[in-house]
Amino acid sequence: MTHAHITTWVIALILFFVGISMQKGGKTKPLKMVHMTLRLFYLFILGTGIALLLGLDALPGSYILKVIAGIWVIGMMEMILVRGGKGKSTNIFWIQLIIAFILALYLGLNLPLGFDIF
């Protein structure tokens, strides 16, 4: 399940950057499709994340932080695409995206399930 979880957020990240480049290129029609697909992948990330949580006997604080960081990443991707589409400033959300992503990555990899590479 951790593999499925990683696959979903890697694909989401790719879709996000494809969306950003389409937005910069002014390709609004294909951007809509990419954005909708990305939103579907938010649900997959959440679904696989929740499936991982369901495999636990207890819910330590580190897991709660991991979930918050994960949801934060999703929220920031959505904010950047939506605000960017309206021509509004996205700088503060990019900063948050980077922080939340590093946090989600760090906590995810340090928590005991999965690859345990650190």
User: Which residues of the shown chain bind ligand HEM in the complex (CB under 6 A)?
Assistant: 2, 5-6, 9, 45-46, 49-50, 52-53, 63, 66-67, 70-71, 73-74, 101, 104-105, 108-109, 111-115
Question: Closest residue (Cβ) to ligand HEM?
Answer: 114
Q: Which residues contact 62 (CB under 8 A, 6 or more apart)?
A: 107, 110, 111
CB of 20 to ligand HEM, least distance (A): 15
Q: How far apart are CA 16 and CA 1, in angstroms?
A: 22
Q: Which residues contact 53 (CB under 8 A, 6 or more apart)?
A: 59, 63, 67
Alpha helix ranges (H) inside 1-118: 2-24, 28-54, 61-85, 91-110
If the CB atoms of residues 18 and 53 are measured against ligand HEM, the closer one turns out to be 53
If the CB atoms of residues 26 and 55 are measured against ligand HEM, the closer one turns out to be 55
If the CB atoms of residues 34 and 67 are measured against ligand HEM, the closer one turns out to be 67
